[in-house]
Amino acid sequence: MTFDREKILEYCNRISKNTLMDTLNIEYIDAGEGFLVAKMPVNATVHQPMGLLHGGASVALAESVGSAASFLFINPELSEVRGIEISANHLKAKRNGVVTATARIIHQGSSIHLWEIRITDENENLISLCKLTNMVLPKRKKQEA
């Protein structure tokens, strides 16, 4: 399989339209063998009441980039991905600017993918460290509403 960075980024950004990723202004910005990177602005949209980056927004960023990254290893015509567990350690506060999440594969099994997602700021300070487990399932037919 040939790796087409631009095609992957275009796909990830296109399928994010009208989703939570779009609401949080998450943008996929880099991809390579075994990793995917996305960024998210930190502003009032993702703040908690004390004016800091909300931990839930960080977790949403981590799960978004880690789940999208699993698509690098599957055939989306035959399989689909479901996040089954995520954990996050929030290590540093952030009030404004941009955070960047880098998902790197730790384990790539046929049915389980384990990702480490490091969320950093513009100065490479570690904001959150997350771990995401995804399950790879056979694709199901969409049910009509």
Residues carrying an active site annotation: 63
DSSP character for 50?
T
**For residue 133, what are the β-bridge partners?**
85, 114
Contact assessment for residue 72 and residue 30, using Cβ atoms and an 8 Å cutoff: no
Q: Are strands 35-42 and 97-108 parallel, antiparallel or unpaired?
A: antiparallel
* Terminal C-alpha separation, the chain: 36
* CA atoms of 34 and 116, how far apart (whole Å): 11
**Dihedral sign for Cα atoms in the order 50, 51, 56, 59:** negative
Give the distance, in angstroms, between the CA of residue 122 and the centroid of all CA atoms in the same chain: 18
